[in-house]
Amino acid sequence: MVASSIELVQRKRSKRAGFVISLLTVLIIFFIFISMNTGYIRLGPWEVLQTLFGSGTDKQRLILFEFRLPRIVISVLVGAGLAVSGAIFQGVSRNALADPGILGINSGAGLAVVLFVAFFPSNAAAPAFAMPFLALAGAGMAAALIYGIAYKKNEGISPVRLVLVGIAVGAGIRALMIVLTIRLDPNDFKLVEVWLAGTIWGTNWGYVSSLLPWLLVLLPYVIYKARVLNVLGLGEPMAIGLGTAIERERLGLLAAAVALAGACVAVGGGIEFIGLIGPHLARRLVGPAHQYLIPAAALTGGLLLLVADTIGRFILLPSEIPAGIVVAVIGAPYFLYLLLKVRA
């Protein structure tokens, strides 16, 4: 009787998760079409369809395939990667406030990019495929520093201490980035300023091809480790009792989270709060089981950043608001709400 009841509950969760994932996919497709119509030069729905099927003018093809579509794809990929990274940090640390931006991981990735811009001339910009590696190095160093300070031998990682250390390290890294920008020439300063604002600045297919392999490798790995995240969520004593190699699994998952955040920040810029909001919304929709949470978080994060970028390009035409600012307007109040909720 108990086994059949558990099986019935799992079947209901699976159906609900399938419905939510399908709905999120449809919403992403819908907003992709809306985003293709949005911009300084407007393309109507019929013009977009004609261009997609090869009947548009040269100007329409240039606008759609060289400017808007790469930006749309990057928005979805970056949002998905940051949300999954946040879900991993929250699962491993058992901390509802964990997020690659809040923990300083994004700042570490950004520091590597700013250092490259500061010490190399403008005409020696890194190729698109090298940017994720640069950001990964910075994110990895920031993560190692945060982990080393927050870890205590007899206590492990305290969720509160992890967040506080991450905030402190992130603030220090951001201050260093500001100091570095002082020595930049105007062109490089503008590049860093655009990055810090969270504008989707890598808007060409080269950046898409540089980011996509990271997600194609790391997302399946994280989904494969979903049950490990479920066990880690039970607490260390229970996880050890179930035979989980906690430190090895934790380090592997943290490395995947850092790599995802670093690659996404290298292409998308200093976008924060997606890693916080995406997993929380997904958890409300599909529950805490990570085999459903990870795909739902990826789709939720991709949808959030796509909508934020579309709003930013539309609301103040002919100017635009960086997607990072639009996300921050939503994310900052949500972070305060979660902080008060956790404290309560």
The token pair at 42 is: 């407007």
Residue type, position 81, single letter: G
At residue 124, the pLDDT reads 46
Phi, psi of 186 (to 5 degrees): -55, -40
pLDDT at residue 222 tops 90: yes
Q: Which of 35-44, 46-55, 236-245 is predicted with the least confidence, judged by mean pLDDT?
A: 236-245
In angstroms, the Cα distances linking 336 to 101, 160, 297, 333, 342 are 15, 15, 20, 5, 10
More confident site: 104 or 295:
295
- CB atoms under 10 Å from CB of 187, counted, come to 11
How confident is residue 342, by pLDDT bands cut at 50, 70 and 90? low
Say what angle helices 2-36 and 290-314 make with each other, to 10 degrees: 20
Distance CA(255)–CA(270), nearest Å, equals 20
The token pair at 62 is: 């240039």
Which tens digits make up the pLDDT trace of 268-289? 877 888 888 899 899 988 988 8
pTM equals 0.87
At residue 238, the pLDDT reads 67
More confident site: 62 or 78:
78
Q: Could you please report the per-residue DSSP string of 110-171?
A: HHHHHHHHHHS-GGGPPPGGGHHHHHHHHHHHHHHHHHHHHEETTTEE-HHHHHHHHHHHHH
Q: Look-up: residue for tokens 């090298």?
A: 130
Q: Look-up: residue for tokens 């929380």?
A: 280
Cβ atoms of 72 and 61 within 8 Å: the answer is no
pLDDT at residue 22 tops 90: yes
At residue 129, the pLDDT reads 64
Average pLDDT, the chain: 80
Give all domains of the chain, ordered by start, each with its CATH number.
13-343 (1.10.3470.10)
pLDDT at residue 126 tops 90: no
> Average pLDDT of 299-326?
85
